[in-house]
Each structure stands twice: as structure tokens, then as C-alpha cells.
Chains A and B, each alone.
Chain A
Amino acid sequence: MTTNVKLGFFSFAHMHAVSYARSAQNMPGVEIAGIYDANPAKGEEWAEKLQTRFFASADELLAENLDGAIICAENVHHRPLVEACAGRVGAILCEKPIATTIADAQAMIDICAKTNTKLQIAFPVRYSPPIRHLKDQLDAGSLGEIYSAKCTNHGSMPGGWFIDQKLAGGGAVIDHTVHVIDVLRWFWGAEVTEVYAEIGDSLLHPDLGIDDAGLLSFQLSNGVYGTLDTSWSRPKSYPTWGDVKIEVLGANGLIRTDAFAQHIAVSSDAAGKTQWPGWGSNADAGLVADFVGMIREDREPSITGYDGLKALEVALAAYESARTGKPVQI
């Protein structure tokens, strides 16, 4: 018998919450005790859709004896919610990026350490089977000496709070740097030591008022160099939301991975375009299963607050590089 795990959701501002919630509900012995959202209309709507309860305050939801909290608030609200949950739940899964400043990220790590709360950051790309396959090949050393990693995490312009500097802490660069940087750190146990970035404000969406294009050029501590395109460059007419592609070049050859290549093509007159529904394994479900497993087995998080902080640091360094026009050492 698996022990029952009771989860609470703290904000549905980031729509990954829906995917995490559905993943949780598909797991035996996992119960969603309720949803708190600062926007009651949104909270109630999702509570009804997911057949759970809406709580008007985080405090009331925390009174439900939760085993774990899943935080999908706007980026700046990660810290206050982690501070509210720390010590009152055993484990927290916090959406990426961990925060919008290093100080906030460090405060979150510190309070969780002090209250003995496990803090995991939501980097679902680590659970994508094509990406894991790449990691397995890298671990086996099939490429020999590694030269470079050419990466893209393109997206569509998400709108809403994602384009509000005060809530998101930045646009495309903070949104899409952290996933890929996290998996590169995970592949090699290496850190980014230098970043140069070209960043475009309102480049693809006139008058957007925030960065919507970013191109990072980085150096890792293990000698590997690479680039990462974080641009929201997929138009509304594109068949899908974006991509995660990583091409690793080494002495023995090249491995190309496209985390979302497992899709069919559906051309629909109703949609007015062709769309690419995915049929690959759901990485969000892998992330949630790992989080629940951590609670059940009382193990350490596989993706820590420190991992979240190190990925954020690269995004912030990219902004600094774009401001100064110089590579930034980390």
C-alpha cells in the first residue's frame, strides 16, 4: 500500500498548475485538498473543474494538514508563498524560475532549510524521455570529448502577467533560460561560468514593453560552450507553442534532441491551421510523480532550490550582459 499524499495548490497563475494537478489526480493515493488563488474567480473555476475545494487564503489551505504544496504563482509571489508554506508542509514544489532575484531565491532556500521543508523546483524537462535518452548517452560517454551544446527553448508570447516586469521579473529571457540551463547543469554537473547575451525588447511584438527575444552565448566550467535562444518567436499561426531542442557536438559525433518531436499533425478547418498534438510521455507527470515519491520515501529533492537559484543566476547574468554589452562572469 502506498501512503496517501495530500497536496495543496497555491495559485493557478501559471497554467502548468493544470497539468500538475491532472498528473497528481492520475496517481493512486494522491489527493488534492484544495486550491488557493489570490484571484477567487480563477481559484473557484479550477476548484470546480478539478473537483476540489477553493480556499480564500493560503493560511486556510495550510490548515488542511497537507503533505505537499505546489506553488504556481506569478514569479514574484513564489517567495511569500514558500515563506507561508515552509514549516507547515513537509515538501514544496515551486514553479520555475525559483524567483526574480537571487536574494529572494536565497531567502526561500534558507527558510526551507531552517524549517526542515523539502524544496523542489519544477524543471519538467529533466523528465522528458528524449532528454533523458540524451543524458544516458552522455553518461555513457558515446560522444567522447564534448565541444558544444546548441539549444533553443522557443515559445509563443504568453501575455498576461508573463509580460509584466513587476510580476515576472523579465520576459522571454527569464521565462526560457532556466529550463535548458538546468538540464545542462544536470547533464555534466558543471556550472555556467560566463554569459554573453543579445536581448530584444518588443522585437517580435511591437509595443510589448518587455524582452521577447533572447540569444545567450555561454561557457560551462567543463569547457563546453553553447548558445540558447529563448525567444518568443512562435507566431499564433505556428502549429505548436514552441520547442526544447538541444544539439550536443562532441569528438565522436552529434546528438540532436527535440523534446517535443513526438507529435502528430492535425489540420483542422475549425482551428484554421495545422496543429501538432504531442503523443510523447508527459514530462509534467514525471515531475509530479518524482515529487510525490520524494514525500512518500522521505528522500531529498532531485531538483533543489540551489538548482533553481543557479539557473536564475544565468538568466539575470544575461540581462546584465545585454545592459553592459559585455560577457558576464558568474
Chain B
Amino acid sequence: MKRIGIVGAGSIARTHADRIKKMPGIELAGYYDIFPEAAQRAVEQYGGKVYPSLDALLDDVNYVDICTTANAHKEPVLAALEAGVPACVEKPLARHLADCYEIVEAQARTGTPLFVAQVVRYFPQFAAAKAALDRGDIGAPGVIRTVRGGSAPGGGGWGSASSARSYYNDFDKSGGVILDVSIHDIDYQRWCFGEVERVFARGLRFAGKNPKDHALISLRFENGAIGHIEGSWAYPPGLWRTRIEMAGTAGLIEWDSLDQQPVEWRIQPDADSQPSSGTASPLIDADDPYYRELAHFMDSVENDKPQGVTAYDGLMAVKISLAAIESERRGEAVRVRDYEEKL
């Protein structure tokens, strides 16, 4: 039985723990969090123990799953790499580009496996679209458009960790909607269409609407293809949407989360009560995207295969995201290759 420990016991850690509990051959060893109460609550729900320090956790596990906030990724990642404990780290790889360079360097030097949890690559519909592209169903890459959006964090659906609201609303920590949300699309589009030449963005980041944020991003890929991304923390409460559209020289792929769902209901239990409605798109456990990414991470370590999302991929996703924020700030296109973050 292999053991995995979680660093940072917040909302995404809950999603991960839920999947880990369903996996054969892996035991959830426990948690380390700078707030021991958070680790304690997680242990009560998912088992394992509360570790008194990061080192104590790293000493006691085969894998580490780093679920701290973006501004707190670097320290535990570097510690895991130096300790030789294969690590999964939540996106974004780090809040700042310099931290990403340090992580990439340490990973190359130590050779410790590092997986960046760009989970969208493991969403079945996104993976299916990539597979169709790779099969040549739509010909060569042309125009890719994706959407990822909901309401402002804290407006619902972001878990109950009291720290989360202030984290997402604090641009210095989270990087706003582009670094937190659109980074998924940036990584996905780069995975599908290749390296990005330049980026241009408009949005709400510098419009004084915090906690709302919104961005419309244009990408130009090195192969000449074009990308568009909408990222939203400004939709009305209750609306969450993702969408894929990929046009090539010989076809088109589309999928939209607002399309008809496999299960939809509207039920009025009796004549006097308010009807309630809902939808579901159920999958078996092993097809769940978070299950898939974590299983892939551990399987790749086990079988000495390359990680599906490398430290360099994580770095590039951060670099393009920060370049997009810089474009939004400056009102100009930013060349990704030349971009360096000024702090």
C-alpha cells in the first residue's frame, strides 16, 4: 500500500481526498496545513493524521499532493523535490514566474517527478476533443475558442474554507481570473495547438470591480492559429459554463456545458410545494477528471513514465497567463517569448 499526504487542507484538497479514497492501492496518510484546525477538520472527514510540519509529512509518504494556495506552492514543491518525494501540485505552478523557473530548475536537477494538476486535460470532453484533433478529424489547427466562467468566488460554489474567499479576491495572492481560471484554457489550448507567440487581453481586472473579474483573451500560436478565451468571475450567481470550439482545415468540434444534460429534472412533490430542478452528468469513479489526473500522476511515477503535465508545461501556462494580465494592464499585445514578469 502506497501512502499519499496532502499539503493544504482547503477546498480543492477535499475534492482530491474524495477521489483518493476511491482509489485502490493508495492510502491517504494525512495532512499538513499552516492552520492545524484545517488539517484536523480534513482528518475528521477523510482519515489519516495531522502532521506537525511539512518535513514530518514528507518523511512519512510515497507521494505528496500540494493543494495550498498559488502563493504558497513554491516552498512545499521545492521541499518535496529536494526530499525526493514525487509531487502533484495544483495549478498555477506558482504565483510568480521567478518561482516557476526555480521549480523547473529544481525538478530537472533532482529528477523527482512533478505533476502539475492542469485538470482540464483530464476532463473527458476536453480529452475527447484533443483526441479528435490528434486523429486529424478536423484537419490542421485553425481557430480554438474556449469559455470558463462563473460568478465571483465567494458568490457560491467555492467551498467553505474561510480563507478561500479572501484568497481569490486578493489579486496579489491568486492572480485574479486569468491566473486562476483562464490558465486552464491557456494550458489546454497550448496542449492542443502548440506554443503561443503573443497574447492580447481586455477585461475587468483594472476596472475596479473586484471581487468580480472577467477577461476576453486573444492568442496567436506560433503555427499561425488563433485562440480566444473567455474567463469569468462576473457571471450572475448560479451560472457556470465551460465550452470548447475548435475549427480546423477540415472540420469543427463543439461542446458546451449549457447543452442538454444526460439527466435533467424538474419535480413538484405535491401541488402546494415549489418545484425543484436540477441536472446531472454522472460518470463512473475512474472517469472523473480529478480521479484521472491523480491516478495518472501516481501511475506515471510507478511505471517510470513521463508526467502528462510537466513542470515546464506548468511554467508556460503561468508565463502566458501573466503575459495576458500584462497585456490587459498595458493595452498592447505581449510576445510570450520576450515576456518577463516585473515585480
Q: Tell me the complex Cα distance, A225–B206, Å.
A: 13
Q: Tell me the complex Cα distance, A204–B144, Å.
A: 12
Q: Tell me the complex Cα distance, A196–B218, Å.
A: 9
Closest A residue to B328 by beta carbon equals: A225
- Which among A26-34, A36-44, A174-182, A232-240 touches the partner chain? A232-240
Whether the pair A203, B143 counts as a contact (CB closer than 8 A) is yes
Whether the pair A225, B202 counts as a contact (CB closer than 8 A) is yes
Listed in ascending order, the chain A residues whose CB lies under 8 Å from chain B are 147-148, 150, 194, 196, 198, 200, 203-206, 213, 215, 217, 219, 225-227, 229, 231, 233-235, 237-238, 249, 252-254, 325-327
CB distance from A260 to the nearest CB of B (A): 15
Residues facing A in B170-200 (CB within 8 A) are 198, 200
What 17 new A-B contacts, CB under 8 Å, besides A200-B226, A204-B142? Answer: A147-B209, A147-B214, A148-B214, A150-B216, A194-B331, A196-B200, A198-B219, A203-B143, A203-B226, A204-B143, A217-B216, A227-B216, A237-B251, A254-B235, A254-B236, A326-B332, A327-B331
Whether the pair B251, A198 counts as a contact (CB closer than 8 A) is no
Q: Tell me the complex Cα distance, A55–B239, Å.
A: 57
B17 located at the interface, meaning its Cβ lies under 8 Å from any Cβ of chain A in the complex: no
CB within 8 Å for A203 and B236 given contacts A215-B143, A234-B252, A326-B333: no
Which residues on the A side are within 8 Å of B225 (C-beta)? 200, 203
Whether the pair A147, B143 counts as a contact (CB closer than 8 A) is no
Whether the pair B226, A198 counts as a contact (CB closer than 8 A) is yes
Q: Tell me the complex Cα distance, A61–B231, Å.
A: 54
Whether the pair A249, B200 counts as a contact (CB closer than 8 A) is no
Whether the pair A231, B247 counts as a contact (CB closer than 8 A) is yes
B128 located at the interface, meaning its Cβ lies under 8 Å from any Cβ of chain A in the complex: no
Which residues on the B side are within 8 Å of A252 (C-beta)? 236
Whether the pair A204, B214 counts as a contact (CB closer than 8 A) is no
B155 located at the interface, meaning its Cβ lies under 8 Å from any Cβ of chain A in the complex: no
Whether the pair A227, B228 counts as a contact (CB closer than 8 A) is yes
Which residues on the B side are within 8 Å of A238 (C-beta)? 252
CB within 8 Å for A229 and B332 given contacts A150-B230, A206-B249, A235-B250: no
Which residues on the B side are within 8 Å of A254 (C-beta)? 235-236, 239
CB distance from A211 to the nearest CB of B (A): 11
Partner of A203, one of B207, B224, B333: B224
Closest A residue to B140 by beta carbon equals: A206
**Listed A/B pairs (8) with beta-carbon separation below 8 Å:** A150-B230, A200-B143, A206-B140, A225-B216, A229-B145, A229-B228, A234-B247, A249-B232
Which residues on the A side are within 8 Å of B198 (C-beta)? 325
Whether the pair A204, B236 counts as a contact (CB closer than 8 A) is no
B308 located at the interface, meaning its Cβ lies under 8 Å from any Cβ of chain A in the complex: no
Partner of B142, one of A194, A196, A200, A225: A200
Closest B residue to A254 by beta carbon equals: B235
CB within 8 Å for A231 and B230 given contacts A205-B249, A225-B203, A327-B331: no
Q: Tell me the complex Cα distance, A213–B239, Å.
A: 30
CB distance from B156 to the nearest CB of A (A): 14
Top 8 closest A-B pairs, CB basis? Answer: A233-B247, A253-B236, A225-B202, A204-B142, A227-B216, A198-B226, A235-B251, A198-B220
Q: Tell me the complex Cα distance, A150–B219, Å.
A: 15
Q: Tell me the complex Cα distance, A206–B232, Å.
A: 34
Whether the pair A227, B203 counts as a contact (CB closer than 8 A) is no
Q: Tell me the complex Cα distance, A278–B79, Å.
A: 61
B29 located at the interface, meaning its Cβ lies under 8 Å from any Cβ of chain A in the complex: no
B234 located at the interface, meaning its Cβ lies under 8 Å from any Cβ of chain A in the complex: yes
Which residues on the A side are within 8 Å of B220 (C-beta)? 198
Q: Tell me the complex Cα distance, A229–B143, Å.
A: 9
Whether the pair B142, A148 counts as a contact (CB closer than 8 A) is no
Which residues on the B side are within 8 Å of A203 (C-beta)? 142-143, 224-226
B309 located at the interface, meaning its Cβ lies under 8 Å from any Cβ of chain A in the complex: no
Closest A residue to B197 by beta carbon equals: A198
Whether the pair B247, A204 counts as a contact (CB closer than 8 A) is yes
Q: Tell me the complex Cα distance, A225–B138, Å.
A: 31
Which residues on the B side are within 8 Å of A325 (C-beta)? 198, 333
> Which residue of B216, B224, B225, B251 has the most chain A CB atoms within 10 A of its CB atom?
B216
Q: Tell me the complex Cα distance, A227–B217, Å.
A: 9
Which residues on the A side are within 8 Å of B140 (C-beta)? 206
Q: Tell me the complex Cα distance, A215–B145, Å.
A: 10
Which residues on the B side are within 8 Å of A326 (C-beta)? 332-333
Partner of A233, one of B142, B214, B216, B333: B142
Partner of A215, one of B218, B232, B234, B251: B218
Which residues on the B side are within 8 Å of A150 (C-beta)? 216, 230
Q: Tell me the complex Cα distance, A327–B333, Å.
A: 8
Q: Tell me the complex Cα distance, A301–B248, Å.
A: 41
> Which residue of A219, A235, A238, A327 has the most chain B CB atoms within 10 A of its CB atom?
A235
Which residues on the A side are within 8 Å of B204 (C-beta)? 147-148
Whether the pair B236, A233 counts as a contact (CB closer than 8 A) is no
Which residues on the A side are within 8 Å of B248 (C-beta)? 204
CB distance from A204 to the nearest CB of B (A): 4
CB within 8 Å for A231 and B203 given contacts A213-B226, A217-B216, A326-B332: no
Whether the pair B216, A235 counts as a contact (CB closer than 8 A) is no
CB distance from B256 to the nearest CB of A (A): 11
> Which residue of A198, A213, A217 has the most chain B CB atoms within 10 A of its CB atom?
A198
Q: Tell me the complex Cα distance, A316–B132, Å.
A: 36
